[in-house]
Amino acid sequence: MKFQRVLVCFIRCILTILGYIFNPVLDKVFSIIYDRSSTMVSPVSDYILLQSATSLAKKIRTKQVKAVDVMEAFIARVKEVNPIVNAAVAERFEEALKEAQKIDEILEGSSLDPEYSEDKKPFLGVPLTVKEAFAVKGMPNTSGLVTRKNTCAEFDAQVVAHLKRAGAIPFIVTNTSELCMWYESANRLYGRTSNPYNTGRIVGGSSGGEACIIAAGGAVIGIGSDIGGSIRMPAFFNGVFGHRPSRGAVPNEGQFPMATGSELELLSTGPICRYAEDLLPALKIMAGNNANNLKFNEMVDLKSLKFYSIEDDGGSLFVSKIDPQLKAAQLKVVTYLEETYRVKVEHVYLSKLKYSLEMWGARMNSSDGTSFCQYMANCNGQVNPYLEFFKWVFGCSNHTLPAISLGIVEKLDFLLEGSNKKALETFKRLEKELQDLLGDNGILFYPTHPKLAPYHNLPLFYPFNFAYTGIMNAFGLPVTQVPLGLSKEGLPLGIQIVTAMNKDHLSIAVARALEGTFGGWVNPGA
Ligand SMILES: *[C@@H]1O[C@H](CO)[C@@H](O)[C@H](O)[C@H]1NC(C)=O
Ligand SMILES: *[C@@H]1O[C@H](CO)[C@@H](O)[C@H](O)[C@H]1NC(C)=O
Ligand SMILES: *[C@@H]1O[C@H](CO)[C@@H](O)[C@H](O)[C@H]1NC(C)=O
Ligand SMILES: CC(=O)N[C@H]1CO[C@H](CO)[C@@H](O)[C@@H]1O
């Protein structure tokens, strides 16, 4: 037992020391590799592409614009930007255009069919993008696994069905990391997705293709899922909005891979979108019948909320320091709220956040369910990650290095049983502290990620930086990631807005207020 703990500690220390020594050097080296050839997408100029989903649906319903013209505009933009960013991995343009046409035909009738009212179809005719890991009838659902190359979904995932019923039309599915378990969206099946603001940089993961195509103007709303930050990190790196709903608020069914064991408590499915006004309607639709239990329609008076700000995790050894530009942006948010709404934003310190990584890891226990190595083999037996690593070294593995590494970590996780137990105790105490702090009207500002969008492959050297998002999965709390303009390098800034369980409408209300002042999404290249 003692030996194991020493070994785990040793491995972590080595990684940390490497990180400290190489941190300043790494950025320099990678900038030499990637900056020379990097580019960005052209600005979005078509006015159809520059509207919220809510506004598009309204215009389609009132026949100010045809659903077909909307669909055509988005298809044209996807065709323009996808060769640059590689976000969309499969399309159903023809079917989508037919479905749009059908809407136009029905609207042609003299009186509005009540089935097409704003209430019944709030996203009437809105083109929808979906993370490829979700089942969309007739579309691939491989999660970037080479052996699933030819699998196609025979049905729609529940969230997809909910959004379709609300009038949205799926037209593309987008790239993820292999098996959705890494924060760079790249795999051996579809290749790598690049950031629309700087193609030398990552889009984040695992819902990376979603946030990328939305930021690039090729879509306006999409579906992501988040077990350690897979909605919020991509939304942050691409400068758009993303919401991780309260645990259990939105059905998770219909995605591959599916979390098992206590992992399931960490997984949430939610919207990614370009305009904050779409967050609440998208969430309501996705939640289906659950929406009735959540008070989404309650008016929110920002003056009645309690605000807290935490600027970093208190110095975890394994996680990078927060970029000063992100700290400055967070302080601007605090100042803005204090000056505009005359509220007090309390700066707090929760010392246990230092152990976020350990707590997240301890909660990610798939005991008795499907293991990651089984998923790597598409549930036909299991992959030997050591053998795959060997093959990888010689460039002939069908798996990515992050997936192979995670497979190895899983094989060694018995070493962590002792420290996991301790981490779970710390977790319980921190959960109580956070619940007491948030009450039922608390808002907490917390960094989404310590670094701005890194260069491709650089996350391999900072594997634990997802701890800032992961810890909120461990609690199951709702969190909205909000863009806060661009950095001096022209990369998106952003912040997490955390709130109490089942109070999703509070963090979304704050997101809307911040969009007005901080500008929300920034047109790339404009
Ligand atoms: C990779 O996958 C392809 C297609 O399924 C298969 O033909 C090939 O043998 C695989 N390669 C390795 C090294 O497993
Ligand atoms: C994905 O496609 C396969 C093959 O049709 C299907 O069996 C599976 O249920 C689909 N959906 C999910 C979420 O895995
Ligand atoms: C996972 O949970 C099971 C059941 O609670 C426990 O016995 C096991 O030690 C845990 N595994 C790890 C690696 O912590
Ligand atoms: C870079 C790369 O591999 N891109 C692929 C993304 O997915 C589409 C659709 O499967 C392929 O056609 C591209 O080649």
Our answer to whether residue 268 is catalytic in this structure is no
Pairing relationship of beta strands 88-91 and 169-174 according to DSSP bridges: antiparallel
Distance CA(269)–CA(226), nearest Å, equals 6
pLDDT digits (tens, 9 = 90+) for 409-460: 999 988 899 999 999 999 999 999 999 999 999 999 999 999 999 999 999 9
Nearest CA to ligand 3 atom 11: 417
Residue 520's pLDDT is 97
Q: How far is CA 460 from its chain centroid?
A: 19
CATH number of 359's domain: 3.90.1300.10
pLDDT digits (tens, 9 = 90+) for 35-58: 888 999 999 999 999 999 999 999
Q: How far is the CA of 398 from the centre of ligand 1 (A)?
A: 6
pLDDT digits (tens, 9 = 90+) for 308-357: 999 999 988 889 999 999 999 999 999 999 999 999 999 999 999 999 99
Q: Which of 177, 185, 206, 268 is catalytic?
A: 206
% helix, strand, coil for the chain, step of 5: 45, 15, 40
Residue 49's pLDDT is 98
Nearest-atom index, ligand 4, CA of 140: 10
Alpha-carbon torsion (358, 501, 321, 404), positive or negative: positive
CA distances from residue 518 to 220, 277, 373 in whole angstroms, order as listed? 19, 15, 43
Residue 29 covered by a domain: no
Nearest-atom index, ligand 3, CA of 417: 14
User: Domain total for the chain?
Assistant: 1
Domain extent for 90: 44-291+305-518
Residue 128 covered by a domain: yes
| Cα angle for residues 99, 100, 103 (degrees, 5° grid) | 90
Residue 209 covered by a domain: yes
DSSP 8-state assignment for residue 417: H
Residue 22's pLDDT is 74
Residue 78 covered by a domain: yes
Residue 514 covered by a domain: yes
Q: Which of 52, 230, 268, 397 is catalytic?
A: 230
Q: Which of 66, 131, 352, 354 is catalytic?
A: 131
Q: How far is the CA of 97 from the centre of ligand 2 (A)?
A: 25
Smallest-distance ligand from the CA of 191: 4
Residue tagged 């050839």 (tokens): 37
Below-50 pLDDT ranges, the chain: 1
Contact at 8 Å (CB) between 245 and 200? Answer: no
Residue 4's pLDDT is 62
